[in-house]
Structure 1
């Protein structure tokens, strides 16, 4: 983010994360006056404890603190930010995540008005990574500030609640917990003794969205979907594996082993039902992984199973699922921010 006033004074600040394990939040301020640059940084800590949103908020506070430290600031001062959420939060006066950062920003603007009563501050959105000289320079400093050993000299320009170690973010903590949980789940699944036999159908652990979708189905329909995914259906190959059939060959076409893939995609005995499935579900009906995992295809898949009658002796007549009710889109209370949109908070106030 950058600032510019009518006296040729320019500043750029950056708050963000570095990707990967052990990434760090960091904020830098670049101040140029008469061709000279100074760098001020605030190292927030691990990405497991802080968010980009917090980094942008600290960057705004650092920008206002740098302005307050100048000898004379008059006229319009623009602070350019590439994060719309941070801009919207400048108007926030209610309890919200990391609200203490924005409370400190409001107090810093009040102090700026007392120090420089003729200054008018405007926060504007600017596209990131667009070869803006000051913004690119701030990005370079951000990479340096990601080092845990980086000296943070920005505290001198921040209000007391923002100095030193900041409180851990609830959002970052929850996100880090779920990320670790997903990693452990994936590792346990890959190391499971059943993984080599099921990875063709289940290359990844069952997604939470799919499980919620299956849990909402009637018991019979949910049982069929889970059995299709695991292959534990009364098909010839599975029955032969558990020694309940003499041959794994498909009893409907007598051409190849009757697996889930053969039953759903290839068996000529079910060509008519498969044609109806393709007409309803489209090209995804020929992709086994999508056919078994996408909730929007479940209704069409179960209709295919019902039309083939392959499991009627076990499940009886399989009723069609009702068509999903189309959800109404909520009207957007705010227009989407564009390059010309900006949010302004003036440091000057009308005299009573």
Structure 2
């Protein structure tokens, strides 16, 4: 506001000094990385003003009896107490908030679309549970280890359940557990053939889906390595 007023009311080739008690505001307009529209507008206005004037910005301590600063504070209080006129929002929305809203909307859309794709819930549950907990945060792992996790979390893995659906296996059942389909959830949490390895690497013989979702990525990799005799990891 002050820079706009100065542009319209102060003659050119004048030394203009702006005083502010906000160190954060001064740092913002001095930064080379600007994400706020309000800060960008203010910076552009000051730069334009400085093309034909000498412009200086100084910090002063707030509430220390500086007459001009006290007057500005009083005007700000009156302005905040007044009834706003015009369309909302009255203040610019921060860029970070806009980006978060877009990110959250796309994430909800992703989850909704994945729920509705024509794949059995037994294949979708591990990935849905993990996505809802971690969103798009990804671990720093090797390419091979990422592939293993992707197999298990999506259900598109060397396990019998998916291979049967892909018509590569004659049966979807686990070779250790008669009548039980070898899904990702079964392999990670309940298969009796890997109980010892599960206890050694994951801390329990049997794990619920919620417990699987809370596992550290590194421990899941150790579990997969320990049980690799039952998986064709080079598929």
Please classify the TM superposition score into its range, dividing by the shorter chain length: 0.5 to 0.7
Q: 1:173 aligns with which of 98, 114, 133?
A: 98
**Matched position secondary structure for 2:125:** coil
Residue 260, structure 1, aligned to residue 192, structure 2: no
Aligned CA distance change for structure 1 residues 95 and 189 (closer, same or farther; 3 Å)? farther
Structure number with the bigger relative contact order (C-alpha 8 A, sep ≥ 6) is: 1
Secondary structure of the 2:127 match is coil
CA displacement 1:149-195 (0-9 Å, x = unmatched): xxxxx989229xxx766452333433333343334334433443448
Match of 2:149 in 1: 225
- Matching residue within 126, 129, 153 for 1:201: 126
Q: Is the 8 A contact 1:236 1:258 kept in 2?
A: yes
- CA 1:211/1:276 → structure 2, altered by over 3 Å: closer, same or farther? same
Give 1:287 deviation, angstroms: 3.1
User: Which residue in 1 is equivalent to 2:50?
Assistant: none
Q: Distance between the aligned counterparts of 2:232 and 2:130, measured in 1?
A: 31
How far 1:221 moved relative to its partner? 0.7
* 2:78 aligned with 1:157: yes
1:94 partner SS: helix
Q: Distance in 2 between matches of 1:313 and 1:266?
A: 20
Deviation at 1:213?
A: 2.3
CA distance in 2, matches of 1:250, 1:310: 14
Cα separation, partners in 2 of 1:179 and 1:297, compared to 1, 3 Å: closer
Q: 1:95/1:273 Cα in 2 relative to 1: closer, same or farther (>3 Å)? A: same
2:168 is paired with a residue whose SS is coil
Does the CA-based 8 Å contact 2:159-2:183 persist in structure 1? yes
RMSD: 4.4
Whole-angstrom CA distance in 1 between matches of 2:180 and 2:133: 35
The structure where strand makes up a greater share of residues is 1
Say whether the 8 Å CA contact 2:172–2:182 is kept in structure 1.
yes
> How much has 1:289 moved relative to structure 2?
4.3
- For residue 174 of structure 2, give the secondary structure of its aligned residue in structure 1: coil
CA distance 1:164–1:261, change in 2 (3 Å): same
Aligned counterparts of 1:213 and 1:178: Cα–Cα separation in 2? 16
1:309 offset after TM fit, Å? 2.6
1:235: which partner in 2? 159
Contact 1:189 1:195 in 2 (8 A): no
Larger helix proportion of the pair: 2
Partner of 1:189: 114
Q: CA deviation at 1:93?
A: 4.9
TM-fit CA distance, 1:299: 1.2
Query: Scaled by the length of structure 2, what TM-score is found?
Result: 0.55
Contact residue 235 and residue 260 of structure 1 kept, 8 A = yes
Deviation per CA, 1:287-337: give whole Å up to 9, x if none: 33442x44x611111111211233564339xxxxxxxxxxxxxxxxxxxxx
1:251 aligns with 2:192: no
SS of 1:263's equivalent in the other structure is helix
Q: How does 1:325-340 map to 2 (within 5 A)?
A: none
Query: Secondary structure, in 3 states, of the residue corresponding to 1:256?
Result: coil
Q: For structure 1, which runs of at least 5 residues remain unmatched after alignment? A: 1-88, 116-120, 122-153, 317-352
Deviations 1:67-88 (A, max 9, x none): xxxxxxxxxxxxxxxxxxxxxx
* Distance in 2 of aligned mates of 1:257 and 1:185: 27
Aligned residues: 179
Kindly state the Cα deviation for residue 263 of structure 1 after the two structures are TM-superposed.
Answer: 1.9
Name the SS for the 1:173 alignment partner: helix
Residues 177 and 192 in structure 2, CA contact (< 8 A), matched pair in contact too = yes
